[in-house]
Structures are given as structure tokens and as C-alpha cells.
């Protein structure tokens, strides 16, 4: 199994990702850390605990982390995820409680206490990760790699060029990228191409399987959002795709590319990806040799991941 820590801002698609990670037999969720992003920190913690119940998960430690980005105030994403972060999908109050330690301390303990190197899966603004790596740099030696949903080598969503998770805390993303930990980027280039078709989502929502009803409702919410914004969010499994990438990388086209985070001006939060054929060798026009070189997913077999998602949850 792959031992992972999930860092989340639950979030409609973070919820789908947690369900998938808990249910997949090859993934072991050691801990979940929460951060403000799609919703306020308190709301993210509450949603995360509820989704663990929905997944019938064993006891997984959950901790609250950063309430806001390193520099800027937190910004609302309620136009995508609703005021409650779950698009109004009602779930019973959970009897689970969050740890009393901070997310950074939970991550540190979990990583240092693990016999096997841990994969840190970030599905949210990377504030918690940046704080962890700056406060406890020793964790890097016991990390297998960081897998993050964020960024883009093409289009943005929060702005024309910036993806939400990176845009929400660009300084944090920059710290993580420069940490030297092997990093894999699952950005909008693939995120935007893994969707469950609307009739399938509707049938799940109207069905009898309890997990299927929740998944159908969450996906239905994505589809409803996309009606105002055609083509943008149609039935996307979103963050869940980044977790699929842990177990089925062969359905992706991956390239190693120099990347850095734009911190200033109109491009703030953009992931600058050097796609030139001579990237990395050019010392004159671009300083690419100073950029972090990371693996980036550029193409995905979307139907394959949608299938993997549904089958893992026993919904196909």
C-alpha cells in the first residue's frame, strides 16, 4: 500500500477524493490535515469528519491547520462550493473529533513516525505544507514525494492564468516547489478532463446506495455550477483525479519540466512551466536552470479515471 497524508480544503471534490482514497485498497490514509480554501477552516474540518463517516472510514486522525494564506486574507470560493463547502449536500453531524494538535504537528508526527516514506497529497492551497517544510525541514528525508493538485501549464480558473489552489497562496506553493522534495503536479491540464457523465451522476443520486447517493449529489452540484459557466466544471471528479494518479500513473502523459510560481502583478499565482524543447539547457533566455524541475501531468485518459473512481467506490 501507499502511505499518504491528505491535505484538504473540503470542498465538493476534496470530498470525492477522500472517499476514493479511503476506499482504494492500495492507499493507506495515515492522517488528514485541513486548511482554509474552498471554505473556512472550521467548515473544512466539519466537512472532512462528515465525509469520513460517509466513507465508513476507520479512525483517521484529522487536524486543523492554517486559517488563511501566508500573506493574503482567505478568499471565498462559495460560488463554486457553496457557503458550506459541500454545495449544500446535507450529511449527518459526525461524532468524530479533530485532534487537539495543529495540522503541522500532526503531519510531522505522522511522517517521522512512519516506517515507510510518506506521500503528501495536497488537494488545497499549500499553506500547511509550506509551514511544515519551513518549521520541520527534517520531514523531507522521510517523504516519498509531494503530489499536488494545482497549477496549470495552460489555462487558469481563479484568474485567466492562475489555478485556485496556487492562486490562493502563491508564496506557500513557491516554498513547496523550492523545497527540493520530489514533486508531482496534477494541474488543470488534466483536472479539467476527468468527468462522470450527467446521466450517470443523476442515476447515482436517485439510487439506493448510500455512498452513491452522496457521490451523485456532489457531482450533480458540479454539473449545476457548470450550467452558469458552460463547459467549466461538468461532472468533474476534480481532486479525486489526483488520488487516481497515485495508483494509475500509466493513464497520464507525464513530463519533467522546469516550473516556478509567479508572485507579482497580473500573473500572480500562475505556474510558469517551461515547455520549450530546450528547457533546462537554456542558460541565457529564461533562467530555467534555477527553476524547480518537477513531473507534470499533461494529458489524462479521462474516461479511464472516471471508471477507476466509480469502480473503487463500488458504483460501477
Q: Which residues bind Ca ion (CB under 5 A)?
A: 9, 11, 14, 123-124, 239
Tell me which of ligand BDR, Ca ion, none is bound by residue 254, counting a contact when its beta carbon lies within the kind-specific cut-off of 5 to 8 angstroms. none
CB-based burial label for 53 (10 Å; 0-12, 13-18, 19+): middle
Tell me which of Ca ion, ligand BDR, none is bound by residue 35, counting a contact when its beta carbon lies within the kind-specific cut-off of 5 to 8 angstroms. none
**Least distance to Ca ion, CB of residue 203, Å:** 26
Where in the chain does DSSP place strands (E)? Answer: 2-8, 27-34, 62-64, 118-122, 143-149, 183-186, 252-261, 271-273, 292-300
**Least distance to ligand BDR, CB of residue 204, Å:** 20
Per the rule left: phi > 0, alpha: psi between -120 and 50, beta: everything else, 85 is: left
Binding site for ligand BDR (CB under 6 A): 11, 13-14, 38, 77, 80, 123-124, 149, 157, 163-165, 238-239
**Least distance to ligand BDR, CB of residue 218, Å:** 11
Tell me which of ligand BDR, Ca ion, none is bound by residue 186, counting a contact when its beta carbon lies within the kind-specific cut-off of 5 to 8 angstroms. none
Length of the chain in residues, anyone? 316
Q: Which of 128, 88, 81, 35 is nearest to 225 (CA)?
A: 81
Q: Which grid cell is 313?
A: 467506490
Q: Smaller CB distance to Ca ion: residue 19 or 288?
A: 19
Q: Which grid cell is 246?
A: 497515485
Tell me which of ligand BDR, Ca ion, none is bound by residue 80, counting a contact when its beta carbon lies within the kind-specific cut-off of 5 to 8 angstroms. ligand BDR
Q: Which of 47, 68, 46, 42 is nearest to 239 (CA)?
A: 47
Tell me which of ligand BDR, Ca ion, none is bound by residue 238, counting a contact when its beta carbon lies within the kind-specific cut-off of 5 to 8 angstroms. ligand BDR
On whether the CB atoms of residues 106 and 99 are closer than 8 A, the answer is: yes
Tell me which of ligand BDR, Ca ion, none is bound by residue 163, counting a contact when its beta carbon lies within the kind-specific cut-off of 5 to 8 angstroms. ligand BDR
Q: Smaller CB distance to Ca ion: residue 38 or 270?
A: 38
Distance of CA 221 to the CA centre of its chain: 18
Q: Helix, strand or coil for residue 127?
A: helix
| Spatial separation of the C-alpha atoms in residues 129 and 117, rounded to whole Å | 16
Tell me which of Ca ion, ligand BDR, none is bound by residue 55, counting a contact when its beta carbon lies within the kind-specific cut-off of 5 to 8 angstroms. none
Q: Smaller CB distance to Ca ion: residue 13 or 274?
A: 13
Q: Smaller CB distance to Ca ion: residue 14 or 189?
A: 14
Q: Smaller CB distance to Ca ion: residue 11 or 216?
A: 11
Q: Smaller CB distance to ligand BDR: residue 123 or 279?
A: 123
**Least distance to Ca ion, CB of residue 129, Å:** 13
In the bound state, the residue with its beta carbon closest to ligand BDR is 164
Q: Smaller CB distance to Ca ion: residue 11 or 82?
A: 11
| Spatial separation of the C-alpha atoms in residues 182 and 290, rounded to whole Å | 16
Tell me which of Ca ion, ligand BDR, none is bound by residue 174, counting a contact when its beta carbon lies within the kind-specific cut-off of 5 to 8 angstroms. none
**Least distance to Ca ion, CB of residue 105, Å:** 22
**Least distance to ligand BDR, CB of residue 11, Å:** 4
**Least distance to Ca ion, CB of residue 296, Å:** 18
| Spatial separation of the C-alpha atoms in residues 13 and 225, rounded to whole Å | 13
Distance of CA 198 to the CA centre of its chain: 23
Task: Output the CA–CA distances (angstroms, integers) from residue 94 to 15, 214, 248, 297, in the order listed.
Answer: 14, 15, 32, 36
**Least distance to ligand BDR, CB of residue 10, Å:** 8
Amino acid at each position: 500500500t501507499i502511505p499518504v497524508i491528505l491535505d484538504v480544503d473540503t470542498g465538493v471534490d476534496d470530498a470525492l477524493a477522500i472517499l476514493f482514497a479511503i476506499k482504494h485498497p492500495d492507499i493507506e490514509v495515515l492522517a488528514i490535515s485541513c486548511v482554509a480554501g474552498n471554505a473556512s477552516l472550521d467548515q473544512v474540518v466539519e466537512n472532512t469528519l462528515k465525509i469520513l463517516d460517509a466513507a465508513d472510514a476507520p479512525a483517521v486522525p484529522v487536524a486543523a491547520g492554517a486559517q488563511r494564506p501566508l500573506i493574503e486574507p482567505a478568499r471565498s470560493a462559495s460560488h463554486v462550493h457553496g457557503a458550506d463547502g459541500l454545495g449544500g449536500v446535507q450529511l449527518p453531524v459526525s461524532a468524530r473529533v479533530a485532534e487537539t494538535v495543529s495540522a503541522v504537528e500532526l503531519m510531522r508526527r505522522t511522517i517521522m513516525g512512519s516506517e515507510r516514506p510518506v506521500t503528501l497529497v495536497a488537494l488545497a492551497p499549500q499553506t500547511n505544507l509550506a509551514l511544515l517544510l519551513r518549521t520541520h525541514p527534517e520531514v523531507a528525508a522521510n517523504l516519498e514525494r509531494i503530489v499536488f493538485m494545482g497549477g496549470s501549464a495552460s489555462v487558469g480558473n481563479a484568474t485567466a492564468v492562475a489555478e485556485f489552489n496556487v492562486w490562493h497562496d502563491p508564496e506557500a506553493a513557491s516554498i513547496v516547489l523550492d523545497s527540493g522534495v520530489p514533486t508531482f503536479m496534477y494541474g488543470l491540464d488534466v483536472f479539467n478532463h476527468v468527468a462522470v457523465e450527467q446521466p450517470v451522476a443523476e442515476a447515482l443520486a436517485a439510487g439506493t446506495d448510500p455512498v452513491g447517493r452522496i457521490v451523485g449529489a456532489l457531482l450533480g452540484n458540479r454539473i449545476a455550477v457548470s450550467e452558469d459557466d458552460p463547459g467549466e466544471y461538468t461532472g468533474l471528479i476534480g481532486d479525486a483525479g489526483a488520488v487516481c494518479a497515485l495508483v494509475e500513473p500509466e493513464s497520464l502523459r507525464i513530463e519533467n519540466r522546469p516550473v516556478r510560481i509567479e508572485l507579482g502583478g497580473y500573473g500572480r499565482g500562475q505556474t510558469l512551466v517551461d515547455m520549450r524543447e530546450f528547457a533546462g539547457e537554456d542558460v541565457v533566455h529564461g533562467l530555467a536552470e534555477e527553476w524547480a524541475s518537477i513531473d507534470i501531468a499533461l494529458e489524462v485518459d479521462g474516461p479511464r479515471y472516471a471508471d477507476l473512481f466509480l469502480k473503487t467506490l463500488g458504483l460501477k
